[in-house]
Amino acid sequence: MKLKDKYMQLAIRGRRTIVISDIHGEKALFQQLLDQVGFSADDILIIGGDIIDKGQDSIGTMHYVFELLKQPNVHMIEGNCDRILEELYEDWLYDYMAYRRTFVHDYLEKVGRTPADYPSQQQLADDILAHYGHYREQLAALPTAIETEDFLFVHAGVDDDYLETDRERALSMPNFYKRHHQLDKYIVVGHYPACNYVEGGLFSHAVKINDTRKVIAIDGGNQVKPSGQLNALIIEADGSLKSEFVDAHPEALVIQSFEVSYQTPHTFTYPEFDIMVEEIDPYFTLAVHSQSGTEFMVKTEYIQGDCGHYRLKDDYTDLFLDVEVGKRVKVVDDTCLGYILIKKGSLVGWVPEEVLAH
Ligand SMILES: [Mn+2]
């Protein structure tokens, strides 16, 4: 199957269009974001795929999205995770379920069973499809891409001859934000968290727009990155772009301003986690990032390993954030000695613990 086989054209000029992808079972965040942007019947809503898996409420999200899709102004393209109902009979399903929460987990919780309660995987699959088979048909009928006057929306990316892109590649090719394409329109993708495309050494979950390559990455890392968020790209009626986001991190009040003098921030994201370390400090340890040769200070709790082989335990930024007394920030990680990892807007960084009421 090629992109051209499941493809839709849509006129959006002159209307505000809201684009949200990678909701991953987080129905409440999705509803909160729609409220925040003031979504109404006057807008167009494009859902960029991956409505289910990873998060806690795939079934609820699926119901909600299909209710929305009854409205003529709401459209959705398919994502790789949305194919789970096509994949229930695959022999790798249980291996996949061992490391990823899926729609199947939601179903089993709902009915109070485990896979062991079924004589075979086939019977589990039959049972799920007896209840949700209609969704399999509806999901399979979704377009792989939506093309408008000025944009192409696709979950992961396209090849040079975009209409000939294999469906599988359109839903799952990696790192499209870094590639060049031939289309004289912006291509809007989700699938890979935008924070992986580090710019200026900053760890940011904001929508990333590259005007040279005409590509926009909108996945805020919701349910994939511990500091992630759910982004909305907003294409205003006049064609200008803006974005909004929501996340579920707890808020904290700044009780003491903290100002940082000159710094050159570094951010390292999956999978480039190897580091070299000599002497461990209880707070921040001097390290060299193996892949890039960069020297940086790492919060010691983010180092894993021993016997001379060390790695970062997760995505890492060494940025310290300025904060102003009376403002509120979001707390990402308060388990480290002396410092708290926070978000200021979409940006992730550290502050000393005494600056927050916490
Ligand atoms: Mn995806």
pLDDT at 344 over 80: yes
Q: What is the mean pLDDT of the chain?
A: 96
Does residue 218 surpass a pLDDT of 90?
A: yes
Tell me the CATH number at 95: 3.60.21.10
Instruction: pLDDT band for 27, please (50, 70, 90 cuts).
Output: very high
Q: Tell how far the Cα of 80 is from the centroid of ligand 1, in angstroms.
A: 5
pLDDT over 70, % of the chain: 100
187 CA to centre of ligand 1 in angstroms: 16
The answer to whether residues 121 and 18 belong to one domain is yes
Q: Looking at the predicted structure, is the pLDDT value of residue 201 above 80?
A: yes
Region label for 308, one of left (φ > 0), alpha (ψ between -120 and 50) or beta (otherwise): left
Judge whether 203 and 348 are in contact, CB under 8 Å. Answer: yes
167 and 73 fall within a common domain? yes
The number of folded domains in the chain is: 2
Give the rounded percent of residues in the chain with a pLDDT score beyond 90.
Answer: 98
pLDDT for 184 beyond 90:
yes
| Ligand 1 centroid from CA 167, angstroms | 13
Q: What is the pLDDT of residue 307?
A: 79
State pTM to two decimals: 0.96
Q: Region 143-147: what's the mean pLDDT?
A: 98
84 Cα–ligand 1 center, Å = 12
- C-alpha of residue 40 to centroid of ligand 1, in Å: 27
pLDDT, mean of residues 226-235: 98
**Beta carbons of 51 and 85 less than 8 angstroms apart:** no
Q: How does DSSP assign 232-286, residue by residue?
A: EEEE-TTS-EEEEEE--PPEEEE-S-B---S----EE-TT--EEEESS--SSEEE
Same domain for 136 and 260? no
Average pLDDT score over residue span 245-262: 96
pLDDT of residue 266: 98
Together in a domain, 148 and 258: no
Of 315, 320, 322, 323, the residue nearest 349 (C-alpha): 320
* Cβ atoms of residues 264 and 292 within 8 Å: no
Final residue before a domain boundary, out of 214, 246, 278: 246
pLDDT reported for residue 306: 80
Distance of CA 192 from the midpoint of ligand 1 (Å): 7
Q: Examine the domain organization and report whether 289 and 217 are in the same domain.
A: no
Q: Are residues 48 and 148 in the same domain?
A: yes
Identify the domain boundary among 246, 279, 309: 246
Structure tokens at 139: 């999901």
Domain of 300 in residue numbering reads as 251-357
Residue 218 sits in the same domain as residue 329: no
Amino acid making up residue 30: F
Evaluate whether 227 touches 221 at the Cβ level (below 8 Å): yes
* Span from the CA of 92 to the centroid of ligand 1 (angstroms): 18
Q: HSE on the CB side for 175, CA within 13 Å?
A: 8
Say if residue 358's pLDDT is above 90. Answer: no
Do 115 and 227 belong together in one domain? yes
Own/partner long-range contacts of 98-103 (Cβ < 8 Å, ≥24 apart): 100/53, 100/54, 101/25, 101/53, 101/54, 101/55, 101/56, 102/52, 102/53, 102/58, 103/25, 103/52, 103/53, 103/58, 103/59, 103/62, 103/128
Domain end position, chosen among 227, 246, 265:
246
What are the tens digits of pLDDT across the range 255-314? 999 999 889 999 999 999 999 998 999 999 999 999 999 999 999 999 999 878 999 999
Shared-domain flag, residues 299 and 344 = yes
Residue 239 sits in the same domain as residue 255: no
Neighbours of ion ligand 1 (CB under 5 A): 50, 79-80, 191
Q: Residue 305: phi, psi to the nearest 5?
A: 110, 180
Identify whether residues 105 and 235 lie together within a single domain: yes
Q: What is the mean pLDDT of residues 193-211?
A: 97
Mean pLDDT of 192-200: 97
Q: Are residues 229 and 288 in the same domain?
A: no
